[in-house]
Structure 1
Amino acid sequence: MARATGKSEAVYERLKQDIESLRLKPGAKLSEIQLGEELGASRTPVREAIRRLSREGLVDFAPGELARVAAISLGGVRSLFEFRMTLESEAAAQVAAQTQVQERALDAFQQLLSQLEMFEESFRAMDAAQQARSFQDFYTLTESFDQHIIAFCRNPYLARAIREMRSQSLRLRHLSHTGPSRMLTSLDEHRVMIKAIVNGDSPAAAAACRHHLTQTLQALIDSLIGAPYEAGVEVRLDSAG
């Protein structure tokens, strides 16, 4: 039983990574047999992993059809970001208060600010080809910011809710940062958020977080409406979530 559970976890992590990175596109069919052959697993751990991903909103089931990677809808994207703005702006405000009483939190964001500024200086000096290859480094920095927010948020229920939204958000980030210009703007937005947190300015941290998410949402909508099939992504232009 322990072996099956471990295999199910491994299959789950692999499928989750493939969905988040868009290696498995929205709308892609998920055959238990085919995935089992590809991943070297029996149907049971594959089925368990798919059902777990379904509970997280990353996989859909249609009557009489195979499971599919959940489609992206504009309505769903807007709803997700509305929820994120509510939760994450409050979390940013709480973390800003924490940096004034918890040295470990202050050190973490000061170090992140230094890393962000070094990355930006290096990025601006790159040619276009080098910049294109550096997106993963940018994602690593922004992921560190998000994880710091979760780690130092005072309210554990709030932190858990933000953590549970991560998978939905991660598969969208590849579509919201469509080029160097947006990435540099996002770096500026993160700098403003981090400085507000380091300075212990809770209202400024919350406002900067809402601004960043508003701008990210608009960039994402522009990308999805403007050229949704360039990335091979199925997008529903409806209001459903």
Structure 2
Amino acid sequence: MAHITFPRKTLGTEIYRYLYNEVITLKYKPGQMISENELAQLLGVSRTPIREAIRLLSSEGFLRVIPQKGIQVEYISLNKVKEAFQVRESLERTAFRQVAEAWNSGTKEAIQHKSIVLDVIMQQKEAANKEDLEQFYHYDEVFHDKILEICGNETLSAYVRQVRGHVNRMRYLEFYETQETKRIIEDHEKMLQLIESNNATDLDIKLTEHLNNVWAYYDYIFEKYPEYFSARR
């Protein structure tokens, strides 16, 4: 088995991110049991940083430590998804509106921000062309992260990143099942245009529509993957 190596100084953080991504992208499926020993062997590390990452992911509701049995990936809870979605939607709408209202296209800072966001969209297009869903999902998250960074409210950004994981397992299933990469890219391009034109009202409408799209596919996703959900409530 090939080892995955991480820089020693960022070991704990990188292991957490690795495991988080494996859960969110459903490589570790809801209900699956995982082993500390196997993870330590795969990642080429001791069990100590593995346990630290597992402890953190357990506190966030992604893993469950079952005494005498092991570690289980938590099932997707619709209640938790809805609660997290409400928080994410509210905070992102605030951040995106603030960015649109404050945007000044003539400044050097705005030009730099636009260049970065356009590069993210380009990377997302390349991932779509390659049919690389994991990279497409990654750049979808990066797009939202960049707008949050431009907003400049670090506390708001931190809260969004903290709560969105429970939504993202559903969104990843949406991406996987619908393959609506073109629509998502067009949404991102439209949102950037609305930011540039300081149109906070239409941006708010577009962002809300963009985020809520996952619910249009919930019934289909649940019917196809009932084993992934703790309960349909």
Q: TM-score, normalised by structure 1?
A: 0.77
Per-residue CA deviation, residues 216-239 of structure 1 (Å, 9 max, x unaligned), is 3323x144223116xxx6223332
Are positions 1:12 and 2:16 aligned together? yes
Kindly provide the amino acid, as one letter, of the partner of residue 117 in structure 2: L
Structure 1 unmatched runs, 5+ = 124-129
Distance 1:134 1:35 in 2: 25
SS of the equivalent of 2:72 reads: strand
How far did 1:41 drift?
2.5
Helix, strand or coil at the partner of 2:157: helix
Q: Pick closer, same or farther for the CA change 1:236–1:158 going to 2, 3 Å.
A: same
* Alignment coverage as a number of residue pairs: 225
Aligned residue number for residue 164 of structure 1: 162
What is the aligned counterpart of 1:104 among 105, 109, 116? 109
Distance 1:13 1:140, change over 3 A: closer
Relative to structure 1, is the Cα distance of residues 170 and 236 closer, same or farther in structure 2, using a 3 angstrom cutoff? same
Question: Match of 1:37, as an amino acid?
Answer: Q
**Which of the residues 77, 83, 87 maps onto 1:73?**
77
Deviations 1:121-163 (A, max 9, x none): x89xxxxxx8562434533442331121221114322121112
Kindly indicate whether residue 149 of structure 2 is the aligned counterpart of residue 147 of structure 1: no
Determine what percentage of the aligned residue pairs are the same residue.
26
Alignment CA distance shift 1:41-1:152 (3 Å): same
Alpha-carbon separation, structure 2, partners of 1:116 and 1:5: 31
Quick one: distance in 1 between partners of 2:166 and 2:91?
15
- Alpha-carbon separation, structure 2, partners of 1:111 and 1:6: 25
Q: In 2, Cα distance between the equivalents of 1:119 and 1:38?
A: 29
Bigger RCO (CA 8 Å, 6+ sep): 1
Tell me if the contact between 1:32 and 1:46 (Cα under 8 Å) persists in the aligned partners.
yes
Whether contact under 8 Å (1:176, 1:216) holds in the other structure is yes
Distance in 1 (CA, whole Å) between partners of 2:116 and 2:44 is: 41
Aligned equivalent of 1:23:
27
Q: CA RMSD in A?
A: 3.2
